[in-house]
Amino acid sequence: MKTWFITGTDTGAGKTVLTSLLARYLYELGLRVAALKPVCSGGRDDARLLFNAIDGSLTMDEINPWYFQAAIAPTLAARQENKSVSRRAVHAHIQNWREKSEAILVEGAGGLLSPLGVKFNSRDLIADLDATPIIVAPDKLGVVNQLLLTLEALSAKTTAKARIVLVSPATPDTATGSNAGLLAESFPAKRTFSLPWLGKPYSAEAAVQRPDIRQMLQQVLEM
């Protein structure tokens, strides 16, 4: 069983959209899938999308045990509530579901190095779990620089199995559609994928019925 960790170049990159699609795809294959967003702030909308993607087979608290109200970095939001999140506790929660599941997806918060709790971030959890990172980024001007910086922050071993998913924005810009080609000069093209704009709101259940979306999800998970 693989553990996939969905991270991104920034907040709002499209991590939850991709995680919900992957979760729905695996769920429809009949697998016991755990889709987790252990830490979040600014409400639980992302966790609710994962909950819906797997038809409530995990509770909201199982998907998202640490959540805070302020729409700022989770570690700062936790401090405002006189709380804290430890790396050990998050790892233990994920490990518990690894032992119960046939497939596990873990979604971070913010970008790769955004603090999630007391002195740890998504990169630390990826290393702890020996997870395969899926880096989500908006397909727009400037994203290649952000992606290369994110890849550089990972170990060589982790980068060697990383995947990248470029998400088309609602309003394309001059670089949309050309970033994958430029990125291929520095990162294997076979591990870079594109996700079209699905609208807002969107339905993970409906989206995974599309042949192009299903093929992309299958390729991301199988490589």
Report pLDDT digits (tens) over 88-111.
999 999 999 999 999 999 999 999
3-state secondary structure of 220: helix
Joined together, the tokens standing for residue 57 give 């087979």
Tally Cβ neighbours within 10 Å of residue 52. 15
Per residue in 121-165, pLDDT tens? 999 999 999 999 999 999 999 999 999 999 999 999 999 999 999
* 49-86 tens-digit pLDDT: 999 999 999 999 999 999 999 999 999 999 999 999 99
Residues 6+ apart with CB under 8 A from 68: 40, 41, 42, 74, 77, 78, 80, 81, 83
Q: Is 100 a catalytic residue?
A: no
Reported pTM: 0.96
Nearest-angstrom CA–CA distance, 210 and 111: 29
Catalytic, out of 37, 83, 161, 190: 37
Domains of the chain: 3-222 (3.40.50.300)
